[in-house]
Structure formats: structure tokens, C-alpha cells
Amino acid sequence: MSENLAWITGAGGLIGSHLLRLGPELAPGWEIVGLTRARLDLTQFDAVRRLFLEQCPRLLIHCAALSRSPACQADPALARRLNLDVTRFLAELAAEIPFVFFSSDLVFDGSRGNYVESDSPNPLSVYAETKLAAERIVLANPRHTVVRTSLNGGASPTGDRGFNEELRLAWRAGRKLTLFTDEFRCPLPAAVTARAVWELAAKHQPGLYHLAGAERLSRWQIGQLVAARWPHLHPQLEPGSIKNYAGPPRPGDTSLACATIAGLLSFPLPGLSHWLAQHPDVVF
């Protein structure tokens, strides 16, 4: 194997697949191995260790996770196994090399928004709790990096990983969606996330970074932007309020301030509406 071998876990997911697909263009100095669940079960620690020692990667970007919050609420033990225990094991394996771990804006409780890296997290869900616990393990190693990101969109290999894909699937099924006007995120295309992470890896400046879009949008606004791309699906959506949501607690405003990573990148992080206007032919 190459001396500049990079591992990407979760390569069958949205962000991982973009890192893998765009890697030859964005990081030509790396030979990239994409690890999917079918290729390597990350919970089989002995098998993972054997392959790691055989291939000796010099960079590990960890995207794999149980990322759907309802699934984590339904099975907290599985969420801890996949999001915390696997991350701990990989971080230990990669103790001597750069390791990039993807976390989430949902580690915050959403009480005020515009969070910076030094703000105190307060997770409201099992998913967010496992991500925060994993963050602390990763950041204990000064070689390692945590990237907190927001909603990512784009085309995934399975067609259901991006928030835009979830909306389209619902509309194709004829469902009317109620989207909150008072729940705010900073969505970003996964292609932009991949570009930023490859640039960050090249900077050799580990630490904690926020990486999200430059535009704070409500779920309702996001839905309208995606709906405008797919008029032939006859999108049905109506505004609602998080105050009327009967499920587990949801943070209201987890918008992220991204000045730290923006200072390292060669390009400005776009807002979603601007990016969509600039890429009218991209399937989104």
C-alpha cells in the first residue's frame, strides 16, 4: 500500500462517499480506501485491527455513525456501541496519526444559536450525547480533530442520506410535510464539506472546528428551497412549530459560527440558497 494511505469510514454514507469520490481531485497526494459496512464491520475490533496493521493508513477520517436521532433514541445501547465505542477504538488505533471525527451541531441545546467552539454543549438526545462523549475521547489526543457539522445535503449512494433526499422521498410518496419555522440549522452541501475537510487535513492543525453553511435557515425555509428544485413532484409542505412537537426534545437553534475553520480554508463557506443558485443543474 501507499505510504500516503487514507482510510474513510462510512464511505457508503453521504459525507463519506463525497470524501471518497472527490478525494482524487481534492487530495491527489493520498491513496484513499473507502470502508463500507459490507467491506468491514467496524464493531469487529479484531478484524479492524488486523487490517489497520496490514495497511498502515497515515490518515483516518471517521464518518461512520448511527446518525438518525430516532434510531438512537429507540436503541441507546446500539447508539453507544456505534457512535462511542467504535470511535474510541479507532482513535486508539490511530493514536500516532491524524484522525478526523465528525460530530454534530446537535451537541448544543439550541437555546440561543450562533455557537462557537468554546461554548458549552448541552445535548438533548441520545444521538447528541454519544457524539459529545466521543468528541471528548478524540480531543484527548492532540493529533486528533473533531469537526462539528450541520445538516448535509447532496446525492448519497443509497439515495436517502441527505436531508434533501429525505424530503424528495416523502414527496414522491405523496406525503405532506410539516416543517418547523422555529428550528434553525446551517445546512451545507456534502461536496463543500468534503472540500473543507480535505483542506483541513492538509493544514495539519488538529483541534475542534465548526463546519456549516453561512446561512441560518429554518426547517421551513430549507424545505421551500428544496421544493423549488422539484416542482414536478408537487411538493406538499406546511409550516409548523417545534412547540407542538410531541416527540423527544429537539433543539431550536443550533446554528454554528464557523470563523475558525473559515480562516484556514481557501474558499468561503456558502449559504445554501446561494449555493443552489450557483449550481442549478446539480441534483439536490
pLDDT band of residue 1 (cuts 50, 70, 90) is low
Section 177-186 average pLDDT: 97
CA distance 164 to 185: 14
Q: Residue 67's pLDDT is what?
A: 87
Cα angle 216, 103, 85 (rounded to 5 degrees) comes to 160
What radius of gyration do the chain's Cα atoms show?
Answer: 18
Q: What percent of the chain has pLDDT over 70?
A: 99
Pairing of strands 208-211, 144-149: parallel
Look up residue 206 and give its amino acid.
P
Confidence of residue 246 (pLDDT cuts 50, 70, 90): confident
Q: What is the mean pLDDT of residues 256-283?
A: 96
Cell matching residue 197: 475537510
> In the predicted model, is pLDDT for residue 126 greater than 70?
yes
Q: Model's pTM, two decimal places?
A: 0.96
- Give the single-character DSSP code of 233: G
Evaluate whether 22 touches 154 at the Cβ level (below 8 Å): no
148-179 pLDDT, tens digit each: 999 999 999 999 999 999 999 999 999 999 99
Alpha-carbon distance of 110 to 255, in angstroms, equals: 8
Q: What is the pLDDT of residues 79-102, one digit of tens each?
A: 999 999 999 999 999 999 999 999
Domains and CATH numbers, the chain: 5-278 (3.40.50.720)
CB 272 within 8 Å of CB 191 = no
- Rounded CA-CA distance 247/158 in Å is 27
Paired sense of beta strands 217-218 and 184-185, if any:
antiparallel
Q: Write out pLDDT tens, residues 190-218.
A: 999 999 999 999 999 999 999 999 999 99
User: 66 with 78: CB under 8 angstroms?
Assistant: yes
